[in-house]
């Protein structure tokens, strides 16, 4: 492969880009005979994980004498991928962000024969392997999510986070934090995602087994979804969300946790790693999420953002597989996991999480807490995520009622389920 001038495209990928992608005008796409590896990333260029990935890409380019064209997108990534897949303009390598098996596997080459495949974390088997045991993406992390907190804030309010094992205990803690003049729960209405994560994490333990079976087989069960949004609404009524919720970004969430102006967040651990960038001395951690219908607190997780699949139509398979082998080196895989505040995706990788280490040691390393899957990935039809975000946002912002939000989710569920 001829070495080309280094080019990284970090774009907003608006409507014009969609048209270009659909018409196949992107330079060197998969199967188009281009001379650079096309790598489509689901992450913002201001995130810790992007900074780590950029260094790894640079290092591999120099080592292997290849060029990797990186396009990073964090807001419209899924829409862009739909366009690329529909137009058969599939990148050589792309983020599967939790959907390597259920959404993307038919476009990806199986990776069982790769040298790192034997070391994949067994916790990922149910999410990433098909009935034949095939795996379709390199797992840069094992996503693990709990109830994030600032330890100093909770200490000021007299709260021991390890004692928050019920929703009653959480409400008491949030009230104590509010009485200290500090925001109990920080979230973001500006960025596409944080509101939906709150509903997603609560939903997986709001349904009993028979209700989950109905959700999976085509019947939307409204009661549990109504109750979880009523819980969120109760937090909004008490004024426990940040006052700038509608204009706040995920970066603002990280700053609030870093600066001790917020106590809790229900968001992926990348918000904690970003917070540590702003304040390395911040005492941050996470605890399992209190149960609703279950009897024990739980964590949510599975395949993370830093998981990458190889297009079966790629004209650069050898080079791309070489790059994944490079990412699988223990020191590189550790850097990826540490950047997102997640457990490693490979069992032969040791990570250093700094102030988050006690939380990982207590709840993740010894597997003492149940890891439940993301609700939307298993029990909602493909395409439901945006509606989950929008409806939960309407409840938090006060622009919509719980009843209207549930009805909208129900309508979208049936509209999308019928397309299966």
Specify whether 342 is located in the same domain as 371: no
* Per-residue pLDDT at 339: 87
Specify whether 264 is located in the same domain as 227: yes
Specify whether 270 is located in the same domain as 341: no
Note whether residue 272 is domain-resident: yes
Is there a contact between 229 and 406 (Cβ–Cβ < 8 Å)?
Answer: yes
Note whether residue 3 is domain-resident: no
Residue that terminates a domain, selected from 321, 339, 356: 356
Specify whether 245 is located in the same domain as 271: yes
Tokens 């709150």 correspond to what residue?
A: 198
Specify whether 169 is located in the same domain as 271: yes
Specify whether 37 is located in the same domain as 127: yes
* Per-residue pLDDT at 209: 96
d(CA 118, CA 345): 11
* Per-residue pLDDT at 33: 40
Is there a contact between 3 and 65 (Cβ–Cβ < 8 Å)?
Answer: yes
Q: Quick one: tokens of 364?
A: 């993740």
* DSSP line for 380-395: S-TT-HHHHHHHHHHH
Q: Which pLDDT band, with edges at 50, 70 and 90, does 13 fall under?
A: very low
Is there a contact between 192 and 280 (Cβ–Cβ < 8 Å)?
Answer: no
Section 186-190 average pLDDT:
97
224: domain range? 144-302+360-417
Average per-residue pLDDT for the chain: 89
* DSSP line for 284-336: EEEEPBPPSSSSS-BEEEEE-SSEEEEBTT-S-HHHHHHHHHHHTSHHHHHHH
Cβ neighbours, 10 Å, residue 331: 8
Is there a contact between 188 and 320 (Cβ–Cβ < 8 Å)?
Answer: no
Cβ neighbours, 10 Å, residue 328: 23
> Is the pLDDT score of 10 beyond 60?
no
Specify whether 198 is located in the same domain as 338: no
Residue that terminates a domain, selected from 315, 332, 356: 356
d(CA 143, CA 360): 12
**pLDDT tens string 397-420:** 999 999 999 999 999 999 999 775
d(CA 281, CA 234): 33
Of the two residues 167 and 26, the one the predictor is more confident about is: 167
* Per-residue pLDDT at 12: 33
Specify whether 245 is located in the same domain as 157: yes
**pLDDT tens string 330-343:** 999 999 988 888 88
Cβ neighbours, 10 Å, residue 354: 12
Specify whether 352 is located in the same domain as 366: no
* Per-residue pLDDT at 172: 98
* Per-residue pLDDT at 73: 82
Note whether residue 231 is domain-resident: yes
* Per-residue pLDDT at 5: 30
* Per-residue pLDDT at 420: 56
Specify whether 167 is located in the same domain as 252: yes
Note whether residue 1 is domain-resident: no
Q: Quick one: tokens of 344?
A: 């490693």
Q: Which pLDDT band, with edges at 50, 70 and 90, does 9 fall under?
A: very low
Specify whether 277 is located in the same domain as 348: no
Is there a contact between 116 and 325 (Cβ–Cβ < 8 Å)?
Answer: yes
**pLDDT tens string 262-309:** 999 999 998 998 999 899 999 999 999 999 999 999 999 988 888 999
d(CA 79, CA 181): 40
Q: Quick one: tokens of 143?
A: 């996503």
> Per the structure, how many domains does the chain have?
2
* Per-residue pLDDT at 354: 83
d(CA 9, CA 289): 38
CATH code for the domain in which residue 24 is found: 3.40.190.10
* Per-residue pLDDT at 123: 82
**pLDDT tens string 218-260:** 999 999 999 999 999 999 999 999 999 999 999 999 999 999 9
> Is the pLDDT score of 115 beyond 70?
yes
Question: Do β-strands 147-150 and 142-145 pair in parallel, antiparallel, or remain unpaired?
Answer: unpaired
Q: Quick one: tokens of 41?
A: 């990333």
Note whether residue 2 is domain-resident: no
Contacts of 265 (CB under 8 A, 6+ apart): 148, 149, 185, 186, 187, 253, 257, 271
Specify whether 200 is located in the same domain as 211: yes
Is there a contact between 186 and 257 (Cβ–Cβ < 8 Å)?
Answer: yes
Residue-wise over 182-196: b if at least 16 C-beta within 10 A, else e? bbbbbbbbebbbbbb
């Amino acid at each position: 492969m001829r070495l080309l001038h280094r080019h990284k495209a970090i774009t907003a990928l608006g409507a014009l880009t969609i048209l270009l992608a659909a018409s196949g005008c992107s330079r060197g796409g998969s199967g188009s005979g281009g001379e650079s590896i096309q790598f489509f990333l689901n992450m913002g260029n201001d995130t810790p994980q992007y900074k780590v990935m950029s260094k790894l890409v640079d290092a591999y380019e120099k080592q292997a004498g290849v060029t990797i064209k990186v396009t990073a997108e964090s807001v419209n990534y899924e829409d862009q991928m739909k366009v690329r897949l529909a137009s058969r303009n599939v990148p050589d390598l792309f983020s599967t962000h939790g959907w390597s098996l259920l959404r993307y596997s038919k476009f990806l080459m199986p990776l069982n024969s790769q040298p790192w495949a034997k070391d994949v974390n067994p916790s990922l088997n149910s999410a990433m392997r098909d009935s034949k045991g095939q795996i379709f993406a390199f797992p840069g992390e094992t996503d693990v999510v709990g109830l994030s907190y600032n330890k100093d804030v909770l200490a000021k309010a007299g709260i021991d986070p390890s004692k928050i094992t019920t929703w009653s205990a959480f409400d008491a803690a949030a009230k104590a934090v509010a009485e200290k003049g500090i925001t109990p729960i920080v979230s973001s209405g500006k960025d596409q995602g944080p509101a939906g994560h709150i509903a997603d994490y609560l939903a997986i333990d709001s349904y009993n087994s028979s209700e989950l079976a109905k959700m999976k087989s085509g019947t939307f069960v409204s009661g549990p979804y109504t109750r979880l949004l009523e819980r969120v609404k109760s937090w909004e009524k008490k004024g426990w969300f940040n006052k700038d919720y509608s204009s706040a970004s995920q970066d603002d969430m990280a700053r609030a946790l870093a600066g001790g102006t917020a106590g809790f967040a229900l968001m992926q651990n990348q918000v904690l790693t970003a917070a540590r960038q702003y304040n390395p001395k911040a005492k941050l951690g996470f605890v399992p999420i209190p149960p609703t219908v279950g009897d024990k607190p739980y964590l949510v997780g599975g395949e993370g953002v830093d998981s990458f699949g190889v297009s079966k139509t790629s004209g650069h398979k050898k080079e791309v597989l070489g790059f994944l082998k490079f990412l699988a080196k223990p020191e590189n895989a550790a850097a990826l996991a540490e950047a997102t505040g997640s457990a490693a995706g490979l069992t032969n990788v040791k990570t250093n999480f700094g102030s988050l280490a006690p939380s990982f040691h207590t709840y993740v390393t010894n597997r003492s807490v149940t890891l439940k899957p993301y609700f939307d990935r298993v029990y909602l039809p493909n395409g439901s995520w945006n509606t989950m975000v929008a409806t939960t946002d309407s409840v938090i912002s006060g622009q919509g009622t719980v009843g209207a939000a549930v009805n909208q989710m129900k309508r979208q569920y049936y509209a999308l389920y019928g397309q299966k």
